[in-house]
Structure 1
Amino acid sequence: MIYDLHIHSKYSPDSLLKPEKIIKTAKNKGLDGVAITDHNTLKGGIEALKINKDPDFEIITGSEIRTEYGDVLGFFLNEEIEDRIFENVIDEIKSQGGISVLAHPYRHYNAPEEIIDKVNLVEGFNARSKSVYNMKSLALATKFNKSLTAGSDAHLYFEIGNGTISTEKNIEKSLKNGKTKIDGNESNYYLVHGLSVLIEKIKWLK
């Protein structure tokens, strides 16, 4: 089973992707499911869950929450994460029975190592990160014996599927047990981030 576990919809300020087209694009690329992880909201994942009528395609409701130590992904959530303090965010995710992930830990922040044990997983490959950051993320996960996730971090349709994770059929169980394999192709760092900045400005002007 192949999943892209980091996608942003129109409910993120720097993306225009429609949930229904995310599903269509992902299926056309041979994916078995996606996690829609909008910035600080579950809206995209919840909308996609309602739209999806294919029992063989899985939608994971998630969110990417900004904290003082960087971004945390929460998977399998059913309520908005209200806090922005790292330890409180982790507690909120845990209270929902969700899975917490340290997302692209070196892109914007150098997360202190003492927080690593708090999260369930580390994002070992993010297609929007530079190679050096992904390599450091893998080294961090290895050092602390953390299992891995991967994702495209797509804000544009052509990015979907650029970062993937292969699992057994029950993805939630596979993530918790560390039975995962990550893969992907890095996006053009400056192009995709530049386009996201432009999208955010356009949306702000509206």
Structure 2
Amino acid sequence: MEELFKIDFHVHTIYSGDSIITPKLLVKASLKSGLNGVAITDHNTTKGIQKVKDFLKNADLTIIDGIEIQTRVGDIIGLFINEELSSIDPYEVCDKIHEQGGLVILPHPFRKRGLQNLSNELLKKIDLIEVLNARSSKESNQRALIFSRSSNIMPIAGSDAHTPFEVGRAHVKFTMQITSENEIKSLLRTGEFQIGGSETPQHLQILSRGISAYKNKGLTGLIRAGTKKILGRD
């Protein structure tokens, strides 16, 4: 499949609190990895989106407005949104995303903070399931792919990058040039794309998680994160 347009649909900036990717670094890393677009999905905030757009200048890079909300039962990503969300109720979060014309993504469903044991009512509100998250284990991603197929819900991929070297490691490939966000949404809904990339190597995942944990909880968090990853706990 010839790829003409490549997008990473799950990236975090420094505004997530546990990422070291500055707006300037994100633009550079995205272009270096050959991406045509990137979705900024910071934890519970959209503050980083405009900051990244300010650094674009003449760069040929599509920025998709997104957010990753930590609900009371797990994480939910909203793509193509125009307002920040503050609810922790998963049903309300999904409804608010759809009201804005956005898409509801279920990220890393078989990892910590993934939405598991979904009710049929909540499952009906999910537009796409993340089947390749570069920060997850191969086993977790395989389970997500099976879940996507059995639920008849379209797949999607994203790096879940928190460091520059992770950007673009998991992505979606389209075989046509994209000229609008509506085109992207339409292609995602109809499945006219392919999943690309692979899991980040374990030693780099340990490094990335250690950096994130250190930013959040200092040295103690770094040690705990490294230990969990070494023991194979997502």
The yes-or-no answer on 1:133 pairing with 2:140 is yes
Match for residue 190 of structure 1?
A: 206
After TM superposition, list the pairs within 5 Å mapping 1:11-22 onto structure 2.
Answer: 11-22=15-26
The yes-or-no answer on 1:33 pairing with 2:46 is no
Match for residue 165 of structure 1?
A: 172
Match for residue 112 of structure 1?
A: 117
Q: Does the 8 A contact of 2:107 with 2:129 survive in 1?
A: yes
Larger Rg: 2
* Counterpart Cα distance in 2 of 1:58 and 1:110: 28
More strand by share: 1
Q: 1:190 is aligned with what amino acid?
A: I
| C-alpha deviation, 1:72, in angstroms | 0.7
- Structure 1 residue runs of 5 or longer lacking an equivalent are none
Q: 1:192 is aligned with what amino acid?
A: S
* Counterpart Cα distance in 2 of 1:88 and 1:157: 33
Q: 1:94 to 1:165 in 2, by over 3 A?
A: same
| C-alpha deviation, 1:55, in angstroms | 6.8
After TM superposition, list the pairs within 5 Å mapping 1:23-172 onto structure 2.
Answer: 23-54=27-58, 56-108=60-112, 109=114, 111-113=116-118, 114=120, 115-167=122-174, 168=176, 169=178, 170-172=183-185
Q: TM-score, normalised by structure 2?
A: 0.81
Please provide the CA RMSD for this pair. Answer: 1.5
Q: 1:9 to 1:142 in 2, by over 3 A?
A: same
Q: TM-score, normalised by structure 1?
A: 0.92
Number of residues of Structure 1 aligned to a counterpart in Structure 2: 202
Match of 1:38, SS state, is: coil
- Structure 2 residue runs of 5 or longer lacking an equivalent are 219-234
| C-alpha deviation, 1:3, in angstroms | 0.8
* Counterpart Cα distance in 1 of 2:10 and 2:161: 7
